[in-house]
Amino acid sequence: MSEIASVDQLQRFLFNQANVRGELVQLKSTYQHILDSYAYPPVIQTLLGELMAATALLNATLKFEGEIGLQIQSEGIVKYAVVNGTHDLKLRGVARWDETLTELPESFSALFSKGYLVITITPKDGERYQGIVGLDQDSLAACIEEYFLQSEQLMTQVRLFAQQGEKPMAGGTLLQVLPTSSEATNVAESTEFGHIAALTDTLKAEELFSLEANDVMYRLYHQEEVEVFTPADVKFECHCSRESTIGALQNIAKEELLSIIAEEGAIKMNCQFCHTDYVFDAMDVETIHSGFDPDASKTAQ
C-alpha cells in the first residue's frame, strides 16, 4: 500500500452552520522519531503516540508564537510522560516508567496512580497559562474532553489512535463547539455538535491510517457543509544542541568539570527528548572556559 500524502499533517476544517470546528492529524515519521529514540514498550509507545496527536490537535489554541505542552505525572507505573509542541507544529516527547517491570498493563487507567495531566501554554511574549485535570477517565482522550468541559465549559470531542507493528502511526480528531452564546457551550443546546460527534465516532483506526485526510472527511461528513483549510506540516524536532550544552558547561567551575572527567573519563550529557549524547573531554573543558568554541578549534586544526 502506498503512503498517504496527508501523513504528518494537521488538517483544520469548520462546520460554519453548526458553529463547530474540527481537526484531523495523521503522524508517521513524526511518531517514528519518538519510537526510534528509546526502547519503549508497546503500551508506552501508544501513550506517547496519543500524546503527540493530542498536542498537534490542541495546537490550534495557540494564536501566537509559543509552545504547548501536555505532561502526565503520576505515582504509578508511568512516572512522567510529556510531549511539547511549538506554534509551527514541531513536536518532541519523552516518557519515564518503572523499567523494572517485565509486563505492563494494557489499560490506560492501570498505568497511573494519583495521576494528573497538565496542559501548559507558553507564549513567546506574555504570561504562561497552565491547566490541570485528573487522570480519572478511561482514556487520554476522555481526560482532555473533561479538561475543556471543566476549564472552558466547551463541549469537545477528542478521538486518539496509535498503532505499532510494521506501520507505526498515530493520529486523531478533535471537534469543539464555537459558542455563539453561553448556552451554546452545553451539548444539550447544540444538537449539531452531537450529530457531528456521532458521525466522527464511526471513524476506525485503520481508516485514519490508510486514507487521505480529504477521503476521511468525505467518508464522515459528505452530507455536511464543511469548509476545509490548507493543511499544516507536523514534524519531530528537538531543541537541544551542542552549542546550548556548551553554554550550560560554562556555568560550572572548570575544576569541577575536570574532576568529573578524571573520575569518569569524559562528561556525557544526554538529551531526555531525542537521547542525543554530547561528550566533552578535558581539552574541550579547557577551551570552553577560555571563551572559545571547542568544536570551532577542532575544525581549525
Binned at pLDDT 50, 70 and 90, residue 97 comes out as: very high
- Cα–Cα distance for residue pair 71/132, rounded to 1 Å: 10
pLDDT digits (tens, 9 = 90+) for 174-219: 999 986 655 545 545 578 899 999 999 999 999 999 999 999 999 9
Q: Which residue has the higher pLDDT, 138 or 63?
A: 138
Binned at pLDDT 50, 70 and 90, residue 1 comes out as: very low
- Cα–Cα distance for residue pair 136/89, rounded to 1 Å: 28
Fold assignment, 9-236: Hsp33 domain (3.55.30)
Mean per-residue pLDDT, 44-68: 91
Cβ atoms of 172 and 50 within 8 Å: the answer is yes
Domain locations in the chain?
9-236, 242-300
Number of residues that this document lists for the chain? 301
Q: Which of 244, 239, 253 is nearest to 293 (CA)?
A: 244
Q: Which residue has the higher pLDDT, 165 or 200?
A: 200
Mean per-residue pLDDT, 147-169: 92
Mean per-residue pLDDT, 292-297: 57
Task: Note the pTM of the prediction, 2 decimals.
Answer: 0.81
Q: Is the pLDDT of residue 260 over 90?
A: no
Q: Which residue has the higher pLDDT, 270 or 299?
A: 270
Q: Which of 28, 4, 6, 35 is nearest to 167 (CA)?
A: 28
Q: Is the pLDDT of residue 301 over 90?
A: no
Binned at pLDDT 50, 70 and 90, residue 100 comes out as: very high
- Helix, strand, coil share of the chain (percent; to 5): 35, 30, 35
Strand bridging mode 78-86 / 116-123: unpaired
Strand bridging mode 227-228 / 66-73: unpaired
Cβ atoms of 34 and 236 within 8 Å: the answer is yes
Fold assignment, 242-300: CBS domain Like (3.90.1280)
pLDDT at 240: 64
Q: Is the pLDDT of residue 89 over 50?
A: yes
pLDDT digits (tens, 9 = 90+) for 115-125: 999 999 998 88
Cα 188 → chain centroid? 31
- Cα–Cα distance for residue pair 80/254, rounded to 1 Å: 33
Other Cβ atoms within 10 Å of 203 Cβ, number:
20
pLDDT at 28: 96
C-alpha cell at 28: 508517521
Q: Is the pLDDT of residue 293 over 80?
A: no
C-alpha cell at 66: 509559543
pLDDT digits (tens, 9 = 90+) for 78-87: 999 999 999 9
- Cα–Cα distance for residue pair 232/216, rounded to 1 Å: 17
